[in-house]
Structure 1
C-alpha cells in the first residue's frame, strides 16, 4: 500500500518563490509586500495565513537557499575528492547561479541586528557550510582543516561579491586559482 504524498501548499510556495525571486534580484528592503502580493497574484489575507509578515518571507527565502545548497552538497557527497568537488561547486555557483552576490551576505547587510531571525538563520547556515568545508579539508589531509575552511569561506564570500561587481567568469578563474593556493590541490 502506498502512502499518499503530503499535500503541497501552493499559495505558500508561490508567495515564497515570488518573494525569493524579488528579494534576490531587487534587494529585500526595496521590495514591498504589495509588490510580492501583486506578482504572486495573492491577497494580503492569504499571505498572513502563511506568513506572519515580510520578515517571515525573508526567512523562507533564506531557508530555501539553505535547502538548495545542502542538497547540492549532499549530491556531491560521493565525489572521489570532496574538497575539489566543493571548490568547483562554489566556482560554478558564482558563475551561474548567484550572479548577484550571496543571498546570505545581501540579507545580512539589510538586517544588521544579529539577534533577528534572519541573522540567526544566516549564522546557522554559515556555521554548517564552514563545517562541511572543514570535513572536506580534513578528508583531503589538510594539516589545519579549520583554517583551510575559514580561508575558503572568505574566498567564496569575496568571489560572490566580486562576481556580481566584476563579472562571474573572470572571478571564477581567480577563485579557483586562490583556492588551489590555499589547499595545495590541483583544481584544473
Structure 2
C-alpha cells in the first residue's frame, strides 16, 4: 500500500502500472491482485490509506502536541512545508496533496474516489474549524467558525496546488502566514524558507 501510494503521488494513477507497483514493492503482480481486484481498487485503497496517514501524522499529532490555535495551525503548515521541501530536494519537484492528486485525476470516472477524498477533507475541515473556533474564543478574531474553517481548508488546498504547479514548497509558507493572519495571529512565524538546494 505504501509503495502504491508513493508511486501514484509521484507519477499519477495513469503514469503507474500494477507491474511498476509490484516491482517497486518487491513482490510479484499476483500478490497485488490477491489483495486488490484491479488498479482502480488499489487507487481507492490508496486514497483511504493516504487519508488515514495524513490525519494521523499531521492533524491528530498536532492536536495532541499543541493547545493554542496558532501553534496548531503553524504546526500543520510546518509539517506540510517540510515534506514538500524534502521531495523538492530529493526529486527536484513538488507533488502536492496525494489525495487531491488522485481525486482530480479519477474523480469523474470513479465517484467513490471523490467521495472518499471528500470524507477526508471533511475531517480536515473539522480540525481547521476547531482551530478557528478556538481563535474566536480567544478573541483573536471575530466571525463564524464554520465559515472561517472552510476558508482555512480552501487556503490549505490552494497552497498544495500552488506549490505543485510552481514546484515551490515555499508557497505553503505563504498560505500558512495568510492563514495565521486570518485567525488573528499574524505575528506567529513559520520556519524560515530554506533554499531548495
Normalised by the length of structure 2, the TM-score is 0.78
Match in the other structure for 1:148: 148
**Structure 2 unmatched ranges of 5 or more:** 85-93, 137-141, 190-197
Deviation (angstroms), 1:139: 2.0
Normalised by the length of structure 1, the TM-score is 0.81
Match of residue 128, structure 1, among 107, 120, 123? 123
Aligned CA RMSD, in angstroms, stands at: 2.0
In the comparison of the two structures, how many residue pairs are matched?
171
Deviations 1:114-155 (A, max 9, x none): 862211110100111111111221122253111111111111
Deviation (angstroms), 1:179: 0.8
Change (3 A) 1:114 1:178: farther
1:26 aligns with 2:6: no
Please say if residues 111 and 118 of structure 1, whose CA atoms lie closer than 8 Å, have aligned partners that are also in contact: yes
Query: What is the rounded CA distance, in whole Å, between the counterparts of 1:62 and 1:48 in structure 2?
Result: 18
Please say if residues 132 and 148 of structure 2, whose CA atoms lie closer than 8 Å, have aligned partners that are also in contact: yes
Tell me the secondary structure at the aligned position of residue 88 of structure 1.
helix
1:176 aligns with 2:163: no
Match of residue 35, structure 1, among 3, 20, 34? 20
**Structure 1 unmatched ranges of 5 or more:** 1-15
**Mean CA deviation greater in 145-154 or 52-61:** 52-61
Change (3 A) 1:17 1:129: same
Please say if residues 134 and 148 of structure 1, whose CA atoms lie closer than 8 Å, have aligned partners that are also in contact: yes
1:77-96 equivalent positions in 2, closer than 5 A: 77-78=63-64, 79-81=66-68, 83-96=69-82
**Mean CA deviation greater in 91-100 or 151-160:** 91-100
1:59 aligns with 2:44: yes
Change (3 A) 1:40 1:177: closer
Deviations 1:27-70 (A, max 9, x none): 11111112112222322322121111112221222222212222
Runs of 4+ with deviation above 3 angstroms: none
Match in the other structure for 2:139: none
Match of residue 102, structure 1, among 90, 97, 107? 97
